[in-house]
Amino acid sequence: MAKTKNKAVFLDRDGVINPLVYNIETKEYESPNFPEDFSIYPFVLKSLQTLKKAGFKIFVVSNQPSAAKGKTSIANIKAVEKLLETFSVENNNLIDGFYYCHHHPEAVILKYRKICGCRKPKTLFPKRAVKKYNLNIKRCFFVGDQDSDIECGRAMGFYTVKIKNKHSANKSLKVKADSEAANLYAAVLKITGGLRCKLNNT
């Protein structure tokens, strides 16, 4: 008998799990470049617990090019990433996998200047997760606040949910998602409530 395939939710990080941070130099809201700038939205714990209770695998897929652009060090970027990993571990390993792209095609740090397959909307990371965790693409979702998230999810054949975040609105104008939600918890309620009607029949 063939092994039953798993269902999963893929999450962007910044603007979905944690607030974006205002950068006074660029005058834009961006990902946190230092661990002291990182915080987790209060509804995230309940959101992830709800997904796990419903039987979903959970993955974080995030572009993190700030070190490549010279805005901070890779040590700081990894320290921020560690904070979310620790949060997951301390709450019974809620997140099954973390996928971070540190490249950028116009990076000032040559080590990270690359046109890669892991930077969203490219799909290298979701494809790895699908293979490693035996996922059923028809039972997978991608939740993000930017067009690149939705493009990535659509390219994979996932059901997409766009978070309406005012601080990333300028990067969320061109690509329409299958559904929209005010925040992660609202998205989770839609997903666990049978957003994809045939979810339980595929």
Q: Are 121 and 174 in contact (CB under 8 A)?
A: no
Residue 198 lies in a domain: no
Q: Which residues have a Cβ under 8 Å from the Cβ of 110 and sit 6 or more positions away?
A: none
CA distance 12 to 59: 9
Residue 201 lies in a domain: no
Residue 44 lies in a domain: yes
45 is in which domain, residue-wise? 6-137+151-192
Q: What is the pLDDT of residue 201?
A: 43
Please compute Rg for the chain using Cα positions: 16
Q: Domain total for the chain?
A: 1
Residue 171 lies in a domain: yes
| pLDDT mean by block of 10 residues, the chain; 202 residues | 82 98 93 97 98 97 97 97 98 98 97 97 98 97 98 98 94 93 97 64 42
Q: What is the pLDDT of residue 173?
A: 87
pTM for the structure as a whole: 0.94
Residue 49 lies in a domain: yes
Whole-angstrom CA distances from 175 to 8, 21, 53, 171 are 22, 24, 31, 10
Q: What is the pLDDT of residue 200?
A: 43
CA distance 175 to 195: 19
Q: What is the pLDDT of residue 129?
A: 98
Whole-angstrom CA distances from 163 to 34, 111, 143, 147, 175 are 24, 32, 7, 10, 12
Q: Are 159 and 20 in contact (CB under 8 A)?
A: no
CA distance 127 to 112: 22
The SS3 of residue 56 is strand
Name beta bridge partners: 135: 6
Residue 200 lies in a domain: no
Q: What is the CATH number of the domain that holds 34?
A: 3.40.50.1000
Residue 128 lies in a domain: yes
Nearest CA to 150 out of 130, 168, 169, 176 is that of 176
CA distance 67 to 64: 8
Whole-angstrom CA distances from 197 to 83, 159, 191 are 36, 11, 10
